[in-house]
A and B are shown apart, each in its own frame.
Chain A
Amino acid sequence: MPLLAAPLCLLVYERRFAWGISTGLSLTALAIAALLLQHTLADGVISYELGGWSAHWGIEYRVDIVNAFVLLVVTTIASVVLLYARQSILGELYTGRIPLFYAMYMLCLGGLLGVTITGDVFNLFVFMEISALSSYTLIALSQERRALTSAYQYLIMGTIGATFLLIGIGLMYIMTGTLNMRDLADALPAVSGTRTIETAFAFIVVGISIKLALVPLHLWLPNAYAYAPSAVTAFIASTATKVAFYVLLRFLFTIFGVGFAFSNMLLGGIFLVLGLLAIFAGSTAAIFQDNVKRMLAYSSVAQIGFMILGVSFATTTGVGAAILHLFNHAIMKAALFLALGCVFYRLGSVNIKDMCGLGREMPWTMTAFVIGGLSLVGVPLSVGFISKWYLVLGALEQGWWPIAAAVLLASLLTLVYIWRVVDVAWLQCPAVRRQPVVTEAPPGMLLPLWALILANLYFGIDTSLSVGVAMRAAEWLLGGGG
Chain B
Amino acid sequence: MNTHLALQLAFCTPLAGALLIVATGRHAAVRNGITLATAITLFGSLLALAPAVFDGARPTLTLLEPLPGLPLQLTLEPLGMLFALLSSSLWIITTLYAFGYMGAHEAHGLTRFYACFALSLWAAVGMALAGNLLTLFVCYEILTLATWPLVTHAGTPEAHRSGRLYLGLLLGTSISLLLLAIIWTWQLTGTLTFVAGGFLQGSASPALLGVLLALYVFGIGKAALMPFHRWLPAAMVAPTPVSALLHAVAVVKGGVFFILKVVLYVFGIDTLGQLWSTQWLLYAAGLTILLASLVALRQDNLKLRLAYSTISQLGYIVVGALLATSAGIVGSAMHMVTHAFGKITLFFCAGAILVAANKADISQMRGLGRSMPFTMAAFLVATLSIIGLPPGGGTWSKWFLVAGTLEADQLLLLAVLLAGSLLSALYLLPIPVRGFFSRPDTPLNIADHKVPLACEVAIGLACLGCLVLFFQADTLYRLARLLLPGGTHGG
Give chain A's interface residues, CB within 8 Å of chain B: 378-381, 386, 389, 392-393, 396-397, 401, 404-405, 408-409, 411-412, 415, 419, 423, 427-428, 430, 460-464, 467-468
13 pairs, A vs B, C-beta closer than 8 Å:
A381-B138, A386-B67, A389-B183, A392-B179, A393-B187, A397-B187, A404-B180, A404-B184, A411-B176, A412-B175, A419-B167, A428-B160, A468-B68
**Chain A residue contacts of B179, Cβ below 8 A:** 392, 408
**A393-B187, A401-B184, A461-B64 known; A408+B176 contact, CB < 8 A:** yes
Q: Are A412 and B68 in contact (CB under 8 A)?
A: no
A377 nearest CB across to chain B (Å): 8
**Chain B residue contacts of A386, Cβ below 8 A:** 66-67
Question: At the interface, yes or no: B267 with Cβ under 8 Å from chain A?
Answer: no
Q: Are A393 and B176 in contact (CB under 8 A)?
A: no
**Chain A residue contacts of B164, Cβ below 8 A:** 423
Q: Are B176 and A405 in contact (CB under 8 A)?
A: yes
Q: Are A381 and B187 in contact (CB under 8 A)?
A: no
Q: Are B66 and A381 in contact (CB under 8 A)?
A: yes
Q: Are A408 and B171 in contact (CB under 8 A)?
A: no
**Chain B residue contacts of A467, Cβ below 8 A:** 67-68
Question: At the interface, yes or no: B152 with Cβ under 8 Å from chain A?
Answer: yes
Starting from the known contacts A408-B175, A408-B180, 20 additional A-B residue pairs (CB-CB under 8 Å) come to A379-B141, A380-B137, A380-B138, A389-B183, A392-B180, A393-B187, A396-B187, A401-B180, A401-B184, A404-B184, A409-B176, A411-B175, A412-B171, A415-B175, A423-B164, A430-B155, A460-B66, A463-B66, A464-B68, A467-B67
**Chain A residue contacts of B134, Cβ below 8 A:** 380
Question: At the interface, yes or no: B172 with Cβ under 8 Å from chain A?
Answer: yes
Q: Which of these, A415, A427, A461, contacts B171 with CB under 8 Å?
A: A415
Q: Are A427 and B160 in contact (CB under 8 A)?
A: yes
Q: Are A396 and B183 in contact (CB under 8 A)?
A: yes
Nearest CB in chain B to that of A428: its residue:
B160
In the complex the two chains form, what is the Cα distance from A380 to B63 in whole Å?
15
A225 nearest CB across to chain B (Å): 27
Give 6 closest A-B pairs by Cβ, nearest first: A380-B138, A396-B187, A408-B176, A392-B183, A461-B66, A409-B176
Q: Are A405 and B171 in contact (CB under 8 A)?
A: no
In the complex the two chains form, what is the Cα distance from A175 to B184 in whole Å?
46
Nearest CB in chain B to that of A416: its residue:
B168
**Chain B residue contacts of A412, Cβ below 8 A:** 171-172, 175-176
B217 nearest CB across to chain A (Å): 16
In the complex the two chains form, what is the Cα distance from A412 to B170 in whole Å?
11
In the complex the two chains form, what is the Cα distance from A431 to B177 in whole Å?
39
Question: At the interface, yes or no: B477 with Cβ under 8 Å from chain A?
Answer: no
In the complex the two chains form, what is the Cα distance from A464 to B66 in whole Å?
8
In the complex the two chains form, what is the Cα distance from A393 to B171 in whole Å?
20
Question: At the interface, yes or no: B186 with Cβ under 8 Å from chain A?
Answer: yes
**Chain A residue contacts of B175, Cβ below 8 A:** 378, 408, 411-412, 415
Nearest CB in chain B to that of A460: its residue:
B66
**Chain A residue contacts of B172, Cβ below 8 A:** 412
In the complex the two chains form, what is the Cα distance from A430 to B183 in whole Å?
40
B168 nearest CB across to chain A (Å): 8
**Chain A residue contacts of B155, Cβ below 8 A:** 430
**Chain A residue contacts of B160, Cβ below 8 A:** 423, 427-428
Give chain B's interface residues, CB within 8 Å of chain A: 64, 66-68, 134, 137-138, 141, 152, 155, 160, 164, 167, 171-172, 175-176, 179-180, 183-184, 186-187
Nearest CB in chain A to that of B159: its residue:
A427
**Chain B residue contacts of A460, Cβ below 8 A:** 66
Nearest CB in chain B to that of A408: its residue:
B176
Q: Which of these, B67, B137, B180, B184, contacts A463 with CB under 8 Å?
A: B67
**Chain B residue contacts of A408, Cβ below 8 A:** 175-176, 179-180
In the complex the two chains form, what is the Cα distance from A405 to B215 in whole Å?
11
**Chain B residue contacts of A381, Cβ below 8 A:** 66, 138
In the complex the two chains form, what is the Cα distance from A241 to B291 in whole Å?
52
**Chain B residue contacts of A380, Cβ below 8 A:** 134, 137-138, 141
B135 nearest CB across to chain A (Å): 10
In the complex the two chains form, what is the Cα distance from A392 to B155 in whole Å?
38
**Chain A residue contacts of B66, Cβ below 8 A:** 381, 386, 460-463
A460 nearest CB across to chain B (Å): 7
In the complex the two chains form, what is the Cα distance from A412 to B171 in whole Å?
8
Nearest CB in chain A to that of B155: its residue:
A430
A387 nearest CB across to chain B (Å): 11
In the complex the two chains form, what is the Cα distance from A411 to B186 in whole Å?
20
B476 nearest CB across to chain A (Å): 33
Nearest CB in chain A to that of B137: its residue:
A380
**Chain B residue contacts of A396, Cβ below 8 A:** 183-184, 187
In the complex the two chains form, what is the Cα distance from A474 to B164 in whole Å?
40
In the complex the two chains form, what is the Cα distance from A412 to B180 in whole Å?
13
A235 nearest CB across to chain B (Å): 29
In the complex the two chains form, what is the Cα distance from A396 to B190 in whole Å?
13
B15 nearest CB across to chain A (Å): 14
**Chain B residue contacts of A463, Cβ below 8 A:** 66-68
Q: Are B67 and A389 in contact (CB under 8 A)?
A: yes
In the complex the two chains form, what is the Cα distance from A396 to B184 in whole Å?
7
In the complex the two chains form, what is the Cα distance from A427 to B176 in whole Å?
26
B335 nearest CB across to chain A (Å): 30
In the complex the two chains form, what is the Cα distance from A161 to B141 in whole Å?
43
In the complex the two chains form, what is the Cα distance from A409 to B172 in whole Å?
8
**Chain B residue contacts of A379, Cβ below 8 A:** 141
In the complex the two chains form, what is the Cα distance from A464 to B67 in whole Å?
8
In the complex the two chains form, what is the Cα distance from A379 to B167 in whole Å?
13
A355 nearest CB across to chain B (Å): 17
Nearest CB in chain B to that of A378: its residue:
B175
**Chain A residue contacts of B180, Cβ below 8 A:** 392, 401, 404-405, 408
Nearest CB in chain B to that of A380: its residue:
B138
**Chain A residue contacts of B68, Cβ below 8 A:** 463-464, 467-468
Q: Which of these, B64, B138, B152, B183, contacts A393 with CB under 8 Å?
A: B183
A135 nearest CB across to chain B (Å): 35
In the complex the two chains form, what is the Cα distance from A380 to B172 in whole Å?
14
A456 nearest CB across to chain B (Å): 13
Q: Are A427 and B152 in contact (CB under 8 A)?
A: yes
In the complex the two chains form, what is the Cα distance from A392 to B182 in whole Å?
10
Nearest CB in chain B to that of A427: its residue:
B160
In the complex the two chains form, what is the Cα distance from A396 to B204 in whole Å?
13
In the complex the two chains form, what is the Cα distance from A360 to B406 in whole Å?
59
**Chain A residue contacts of B64, Cβ below 8 A:** 461-462
Nearest CB in chain B to that of A405: its residue:
B180
Q: Are B183 and A404 in contact (CB under 8 A)?
A: yes
**Chain B residue contacts of A389, Cβ below 8 A:** 67, 183
In the complex the two chains form, what is the Cα distance from A268 to B25 in whole Å?
57
In the complex the two chains form, what is the Cα distance from A430 to B157 in whole Å?
12
A95 nearest CB across to chain B (Å): 43
In the complex the two chains form, what is the Cα distance from A104 to B285 in whole Å?
64
In the complex the two chains form, what is the Cα distance from A378 to B137 in whole Å?
13
**Chain A residue contacts of B67, Cβ below 8 A:** 386, 389, 463, 467
**Chain A residue contacts of B176, Cβ below 8 A:** 405, 408-409, 411-412
**Chain A residue contacts of B138, Cβ below 8 A:** 380-381
Interface centre among A405, A427, A428, A464 (most CB of B within 10 A): A427
In the complex the two chains form, what is the Cα distance from A468 to B69 in whole Å?
13
B139 nearest CB across to chain A (Å): 9
**Chain B residue contacts of A468, Cβ below 8 A:** 68
Nearest CB in chain B to that of A392: its residue:
B183
In the complex the two chains form, what is the Cα distance from A419 to B165 in whole Å?
13
**Chain B residue contacts of A430, Cβ below 8 A:** 155
In the complex the two chains form, what is the Cα distance from A419 to B172 in whole Å?
13
**Chain B residue contacts of A404, Cβ below 8 A:** 180, 183-184
**Chain A residue contacts of B152, Cβ below 8 A:** 427
**Chain B residue contacts of A378, Cβ below 8 A:** 175
**Chain A residue contacts of B171, Cβ below 8 A:** 412, 415
A276 nearest CB across to chain B (Å): 15
B151 nearest CB across to chain A (Å): 12
In the complex the two chains form, what is the Cα distance from A444 to B22 in whole Å?
28
In the complex the two chains form, what is the Cα distance from A467 to B176 in whole Å?
23
B142 nearest CB across to chain A (Å): 8
Interface centre among B68, B141, B179, B186 (most CB of A within 10 A): B179
